[in-house]
Structure 1
Amino acid sequence: MDILALVEWIDEAPAAALLGLLTGVIFGVAAQRSRFCLRAAAVEFARGRMGDRIAVWFLTFSTGVVWVQGAQLLGLFRASDARMMAIPGSWSGAVIGGLVFGAGMVLARGCPGRLLVLAATGNLRAITAGLVFAVAAQMSLSGMLSGLRTRLAALWTTSGGHNMDLLSTLGLPSYGGLLIGLGFAALALVVSRRNRIGAARLLFASGVGFAVAVGWVSTFALASVSFEPVAVTSATFSGPSANTLMFFLVSDPVLNFDIGLVPGVFLGSFLASSYAREFRFQGFEDAANMRRMMTGAVMMGFGAMLAGGCSIGNGVTGASIFAGTAWLALFSMWIGAMVTDFLVDQRGVGAQAA
């Protein structure tokens, strides 16, 4: 795609939104067909299993790293220009926000990206929880929860006025990130083979990681030819969900990558589920289930904004450029999810059996 020709044709803001739409469609199709979900992977691991959900998550994570690091070696992308790397990160936010997000992810039965994918398949539970997540994220960004978020994030931040680049901090060569990604990919293939995962699902799982690379490379290319500043970013669902919500509520909406991303994921998942004849309406089982999901959605909204991103924004997008706080937030999300599953779901099942 000739980015300069696209900008000259439709201008910079619509071009950014179109690139977001393209990234979102690829993500939506791939995530729907692969059933990619960090919550499901964390729950499997917490229960002592190395099942198909862990295999899919590892493959998505590893291919995201491989595609992005490969693009950087080819000169198609520069991680230092990414918005996540160019601003200070918060270690305290990564830990506290990650733990809160991970707990909320289990309660809501899905991360924001997964909820958006499910919403497009007719899941009314996911639609409701996703809207609550977007409202909570906006409240945490600039509403009544923003003060608490700011105070917690300021407790411990990265030095030097930017995020920590793990590769340079560890003294690894330029191809070190690619080798790490290939190592995780080998692990993913081993686990996939043990679980007899088909080639189609493996292809779609890697497609989620590819979507992240498309976002990074396309916004970097756009920033290189634009007269106005353009954020170099990729797939994440905390800020974009809040921004998309406000886009439809304010009188002078502004187009950007985020505004195209969320509708793109919805469209991609809808097309994939319709083609596979998996679209069907589903509602809440009971009031208790609804309360649980609403609570989890609020926790995810606040936790994601505090952590600097959701399970996709930190766990795949941020990790693919080796942003220090992203890796710490991802680890914290896994811990929060596993502890919550043990305390809420596993103990709950045991209590019912007794």
Structure 2
Amino acid sequence: MLLTGLFCGILLGFVMQRGRFCITGAFRDLYVTKSNKMFVALLIAITVQSVGFFILKEVGWLNIEPVKNFEFVAVMVGSFLFGIGIIYAGGCATGTWYRAAEGLIGSWVALFMYMLFSAMMRTGPLGEFNQTLRSVKVDERNIYESVGISAWWLVALLTLITGYLVYKHLAKPQAKVATLKPKKTGLAHILFEKRWHPFVSATLIGLIALAAWPLSVATGRIGGLGITTPSANIMQFLITNEVKFINWGVFLVLGIFIGSFIAAKGSNEFRLRLPDTQTMIRSTFGGSLMGIGASLAGGCSIGNALVATAYFSWQGWVSLPLMVLGTWFAAYFTIIRPQQLKAVTA
């Protein structure tokens, strides 16, 4: 059954790499380019998963409560730090995994630091700091339970908002994009050559995220897609050689790497790229912040922004805007401010 995690990860890695599905870009573009296209794509993935999740619960195929006490201090601090980290690292947790599979050495550095600091925040020297912040919590879990309404009201609201935003985008006149003559035909062209629309990629990711729930629960792991804990588990296994760290989530993230590598090789996008010193330093710093932030927040941009939002936990919907604010904060100092200084000196 653990191999279903590998299969799920391969699908997710393939779709994210070919669809160029970048959550960091979705957050950053809201501020830097004033575009919300990728953020709407994220909402599509959340909505698809949310509808499916509550249907599975309604029919009794998913009898779980994947929520816990709201550790609000750790979630707020960690989410903001994580948002800063993904800008410096050049990608979120999943984005770092799939970019590493494309041959980006900078992403390898960020990934190693992310895994290392995630492990340190659990059982290493930063564990006490992690537990101290996470000990501040309230017994408020799901938003719909706190408000006293059915979860379906929130599902309906999310679906309406997402549908409206999708309609607005699709109703806009689409600019013609020059395309090269296809070198592949049939399915190979669609899988490895054709440009994927972000909304199509998001729908597929939402379905994969939904499938992850019953597949993961069947192995005794209560949760859907998750990147931070499995990444830390890999590091802890390599250090301790204890098989207790190997579970469905570990196979998931390894599958993401494999699926991304297959997609990158098939589309001729794989090549080893050695970054300059500044990028290496940024990747090291960003990966470290990602590990610290995601551990404090109880999840990364997948665990919190994609999964926890789908079942309307406070953790997910508080974490999401703070991740966005973190990316904006970092984008100002790495993108906006340098451009302003360049314009002044030009």
Q: Same fold (TM over 0.5)?
A: yes
Q: Tell me which of 48, 55, 58 is aligned to 1:73.
A: 58
Aligned position for 1:149 = 130
Aligned position for 2:80 = 99
Aligned position for 1:350 = 340
Are the equivalent residues in 2 in contact too, given 1:165–1:322 (CA < 8 A)? yes
Using the alignment, how far apart are the partners of 1:110 and 1:218 within structure 2?
27
* Consecutive unaligned residues in structure 1, runs of 5 or more: 1-14, 224-229
- Following superposition, the deviation at residue 268 of structure 1 comes to 1.2
CA deviations 1:152-192 (Å, max 9, x no partner) are 222x3022xxx511122222324224313422431452354
Q: Tell me which of 324, 333, 337 is aligned to 2:323.
A: 333
- Following superposition, the deviation at residue 281 of structure 1 comes to 1.7
- Following superposition, the deviation at residue 48 of structure 1 comes to 5.2
Are the equivalent residues in 1 in contact too, given 2:109–2:280 (CA < 8 A)? no
1:205 equivalent to 2:202? Answer yes
Using the alignment, how far apart are the partners of 1:182 and 1:336 within structure 2?
26
CA deviations 1:191-235 (Å, max 9, x no partner) are 542484977543222121222111112223x16xxxxxx221121
Report the AA paired with residue 322 of structure 2: S
Aligned position for 1:172 = 149
Aligned position for 1:110 = 91
Report the AA paired with residue 138 of structure 1: A
- Following superposition, the deviation at residue 261 of structure 1 comes to 0.8
Are the equivalent residues in 2 in contact too, given 1:90–1:153 (CA < 8 A)? yes
Taking only aligned residues, the RMSD between alpha carbons, in angstroms, comes to 2.1
Q: TM-score, normalised by structure 1?
A: 0.85
Q: Tell me which of 322, 326, 336 is aligned to 2:312.
A: 322
CA deviations 1:77-97 (Å, max 9, x no partner) are 2351x2xx1x32300011100
Q: 1:313 to 1:195 in 2, by over 3 A?
A: farther
Alignment of 1:274-289 (within 5 A): 274-284=265-275, 286-289=276-279
Using the alignment, how far apart are the partners of 2:69 and 2:321 within structure 1?
19
User: What percentage of aligned pairs have identical amino acids?
Assistant: 23
Q: 1:252 to 1:47 in 2, by over 3 A?
A: closer
Are the equivalent residues in 2 in contact too, given 1:134–1:238 (CA < 8 A)? yes
Report the AA paired with residue 128 of structure 2: G
Q: 1:167 to 1:26 in 2, by over 3 A?
A: farther
Q: Tell me which of 264, 275, 287 is aligned to 1:273.
A: 264
* Consecutive unaligned residues in structure 2, runs of 5 or more: 176-194
- Following superposition, the deviation at residue 99 of structure 1 comes to 0.7
Q: 1:191 to 1:264 in 2, by over 3 A?
A: farther
Are the equivalent residues in 2 in contact too, given 1:247–1:259 (CA < 8 A)? no
1:46 equivalent to 2:27? Answer no
- Following superposition, the deviation at residue 329 of structure 1 comes to 1.2
Q: 1:33 to 1:188 in 2, by over 3 A?
A: farther
